[in-house]
Amino acid sequence: MRLTEEQKRKVEENHDLIYWYMRRHNLDFDEYYDACAMGLCRAAASYDPSKGIAFSTLAYKCMSNEVVRYWRYVNRPMRNTMYEAFSLQAPFRKCPDERNLSRMEMYQCPGDGGRSPDDRVFAKEFISSLPDKERIVIEMRLYGFQQNEISDVIGCSRQNVSQIMKKIGRRYMEGV
- Which of residues 54 and 116 earns the better pLDDT score? 54
Contact by Cβ (8 Å): 70, 83: no
* 157: pLDDT strictly greater than 60: yes
Give the H or E element holding residue 55: helix 55-74
For 44-70, letters b (16+ CB in 10 Å) and e give beebeeeeeeebeebbbebbeebbeeb
Fold of 116-176: Arc Repressor Mutant, subunit A (1.10.10)
Claim: this prediction has a pTM higher than 0.75: no
Share of the chain above pLDDT 90, in %: 41
CB count within 10 Å of CB 88 equals: 12
From residue 112, alpha-carbon distances to 77, 105, 170 in Å are 22, 11, 21
Contact by Cβ (8 Å): 79, 52: no
Contact by Cβ (8 Å): 90, 49: no
The tens digit of pLDDT for each residue in 160-175 reads 999 999 998 888 877 7
Q: What span, in angstroms and rounded, lies between the C-alpha atoms of 154 and 161?
A: 9
* 86: pLDDT strictly greater than 60: no
The tens digit of pLDDT for each residue in 103-141 reads 555 444 444 444 555 566 677 788 888 898 898 888 888
Q: What span, in angstroms and rounded, lies between the C-alpha atoms of 53 and 174?
A: 52
Q: Which residue intervals of 130-157 are DSSP H helices?
A: 132-142, 147-154
- Which of residues 101 and 29 earns the better pLDDT score? 29
Q: What span, in angstroms and rounded, lies between the C-alpha atoms of 82 and 93?
A: 18
